[in-house]
Amino acid sequence: MSSKGSAPAKAGLRVGVIGAGVMGSNHARVLSGLPGVNLVGVVDPSHAHRTRATELANCPSFETLDALFAAGVDAVTIAAPTHLHHEVALACIAKNIHVLVEKPIASTVAEGREIVAAAHKAGVTLMVGHVERFNPAVAAVKQAIAGEDILSIAITRVGPFPPRMSNVGVVIDLAVHDIDLIRWFTESDIVEVQPQLSSAVAEREDIALLQFRTANGVLAHINTNWLTPFKARSVTVATRGKYVMGDLLTRQVTECFGFKPDGSYSMRHLPVGHDEPLRAELIAFLKAVRNGETPAVTGDEGVASLEIATQCLETPSRPAAKSPALKGPRRVAG
């Protein structure tokens, strides 16, 4: 545990937010309303970002990381741009500060591993912000397939091109969520990767069709793009005994079961909670910090998902083998 923050216990855990963009501002908003938390403030070099975050969360703001450190914090959430995650996380860990870092954990697998190693050595809590795990619909799907023999998983995560300019494509920005979900649902590592990528409009890939096989034999598929005019987020899981469908936006989860030889089956809607995923995620992080528990999404899990996403970007697609019979013109019968 951190020795920082010598304020009385009733003041609560002293927490800071690093990065005051859209995500960081939401972190600050949620943290400001949590019991047992003293939101020390947000850090961002941008005056406009700091203004937005402080208005949303009614908390102090800092221009530099050192200013936040000087104020004294026990834990931070890092919602800065991905290329800064490595530098910022290591600076916090060096001060024995517990860290929640937004996904992806870092720009590269090597940087992610360095963060994990530093946190382990310092004995501080490190959690990765794969917030989709805390979506009540995802939790309902996970509960429905517990103990089942999973056969296949299909995930769709599509929408329009994001207004914020980003230095990553859909695989790192969107599909990394679902790579994490596949590993979590199957409780297995991904051992085969078959990606199909295209840059239709953007400089980086904006369409990705990704196929995977897990170590325990589950086939999985992710369809993601920035070319769909509306947002869609869905998960379907086929097991030997069930077929579970989840809409992650409407949070409706349906289960088909009781398959009969004549093709009939039963269907039911499953109960789904109403928690805000980010709030549930931050509560889980702070609980891990307070109790010294293993966090819900470990640094190693964050690195594993980034590694698979990186493999998707690096695996060359192979041209299909041509059948000799199709090389010449076809003969018309008759």
What architecture is domain 13-130? Answer: 3-Layer(aba) Sandwich (3.40)
**Extents of the domains making up the chain:** 13-130, 132-275+296-314
253 CB-near residues (< 8 Å, 6+ apart): 137, 140, 141, 144, 244, 245, 246, 247, 269, 270, 272
**Fold match, 13-130 / 132-275+296-314:** no
Query: Does domain 132-275+296-314 correspond to CATH entry 1.10.3470.10?
Result: no
**Whole-Å CA distances, 203 to 99, 155, 264, 297, 312:** 32, 24, 48, 31, 17
Q: What is the pLDDT of residues 13-45, one digit of tens each?
A: 999 999 999 999 999 999 999 999 999 999 999
Q: Tell me how far apart the alpha carbons of residues 300 and 180 are, in angstroms, rounded to a whole number.
A: 11
Average pLDDT over every residue of 60-70 = 97
Enter the pTM of the model: 0.90
> pLDDT tens digits for 302-331?
999 999 999 999 977 667 666 555 555 555
The rounded distance, in Å, linking the Cα atoms of 143 and 242 is 12
